[in-house]
Amino acid sequence: MRPLSYRRAAEIGEAVATVSTEPTSAFLAGGTTEVDLVRLGVARHDLLVDINDLPLADIENLPGGGLRIGALARMNDVARAAQVVEMYPGIAQALLLGASEQLRNMATMGGNLCQRVRCAYFRDNVSPCNKREPGTGCSALDGQNRGHAILGTSEHCIATHPSDVAVALVAFDAVVHTIGPSGARIIPIENFYLLPGRTPHIEHPLEHGELIVAIEVPPLPVARGSLYLKFRDRQSYEFALVSVLSALLVQDGRITEVRLALGGVGTTPWRARRAEAQLVGAPATAGSFAAAAAAELDAAVLHEHNAFKQELAQRAIVRGLDQAMVSAVHGGAR
């Protein structure tokens, strides 16, 4: 068994300094992903720095509207916070559908955003995997790829990003606040997730030792009618085959604003911008929803076992938008 050291940080600066100066170290929060990867031998850390004592668990209303969610806030606490349920129901739903009650009580928001893929080839520590060992190949391309991505893929990796709440946060233009060796940064969440390209092992723009401290979600009237739908092989404790975050505003029968993002089909939480652009100004009808969904999925790259996801995603988009119509805010006010 690989020797492993453990330290507990009392301050943000201490945590950042410790990890940034130890090349084989990592932060430890809820541990619901990191501990698994250490046990599997996929994460080859020599030191874990426990950050649970840091004051990063608050959920705060911002003066100009919107929310600031501490990186150590637990998934269950965020999902049940009154202001989240009222202002961003899609976030609350994504969190509740993202894991079991026990995991939600432990898992943190920052850890959720940084969780690694659930691709079996990545986790078996034996199969060729460019994400685990760059340059070795992608076993999923010709292997068991039923759960893998059809959008944002490359010849080097087709693993899907597993987070549910990240889908909602991408739809709502959240930003990620970090503190690292070079100081504080604000990263738009869409820039936080990198497409695999030729370097699938580089998933985020974070430097070693850079710590997520908070997530901010801007004030969005359209988000008050948002919903998150998740389609999976079983109704509990399962990752998405396809998921969709949808929200829209309608006035005089036409769509004035729409937010749409997908999970389970992209190598990153997938903002459906092509569909959004087609929907703005269009009539709020099933025909418009279907046409926009088809346009978004037109770029899908299919493999032997996951081709069904193209149609499933299109149907999910139509259903999500149709159900969001019930909560649509007419004329920009409730």
* Domain enclosing residue 297, as ranges: 222-330
pLDDT (0 to 100) of residue 162: 96
What is d(CA 215, CA 163) in angstroms, rounded to the nearest whole number?
15
Q: Is the pLDDT of residue 334 over 60?
A: no
What is the arithmetic mean of pLDDT over 314-320?
A: 98
What is the arithmetic mean of pLDDT over 289-314?
A: 98
Please indicate, yes or no, if residue 325 is contained in any of the structural domains.
Answer: yes
| 145-196 pLDDT, tens digit each | 999 999 999 999 999 999 999 999 999 999 999 999 999 999 999 999 999 9
State percent of the chain over pLDDT 70.
98
Q: Which residues pair with 33 in a beta bridge?
A: none
pLDDT (0 to 100) of residue 127: 97
Please indicate, yes or no, if residue 295 is contained in any of the structural domains.
Answer: yes
Please indicate, yes or no, if residue 265 is contained in any of the structural domains.
Answer: yes
pLDDT (0 to 100) of residue 287: 97
Please indicate, yes or no, if residue 82 is contained in any of the structural domains.
Answer: no
The model's pTM is 0.95
| 227-251 pLDDT, tens digit each | 999 999 988 778 999 999 999 999 9
pLDDT (0 to 100) of residue 333: 38
What is the arithmetic mean of pLDDT over 194-210?
A: 97
pLDDT (0 to 100) of residue 181: 96
| 81-120 pLDDT, tens digit each | 999 999 999 999 999 999 999 999 999 999 999 999 999 9
Please indicate, yes or no, if residue 286 is contained in any of the structural domains.
Answer: yes
pLDDT (0 to 100) of residue 1: 59
| 25-56 pLDDT, tens digit each | 999 999 888 888 888 888 888 999 999 999 99
**Residue 327: Cβ within 10 Å count:** 17
Please indicate, yes or no, if residue 291 is contained in any of the structural domains.
Answer: yes
Domain count, the chain: 1
pLDDT (0 to 100) of residue 330: 45
Q: What is the CATH number of the domain that holds 302?
A: 3.30.390.50
Q: What does pLDDT average to over the chain?
A: 95
Please indicate, yes or no, if residue 229 is contained in any of the structural domains.
Answer: yes
What is d(CA 105, CA 29) in angstroms, rounded to the nearest whole number?
12
Please indicate, yes or no, if residue 275 is contained in any of the structural domains.
Answer: yes
Q: Is the pLDDT of residue 317 over 90?
A: yes
What is the arithmetic mean of pLDDT over 68-83?
A: 98
Confidence of residue 331 (pLDDT cuts 50, 70, 90): very low
Q: Is the pLDDT of residue 327 over 80?
A: no
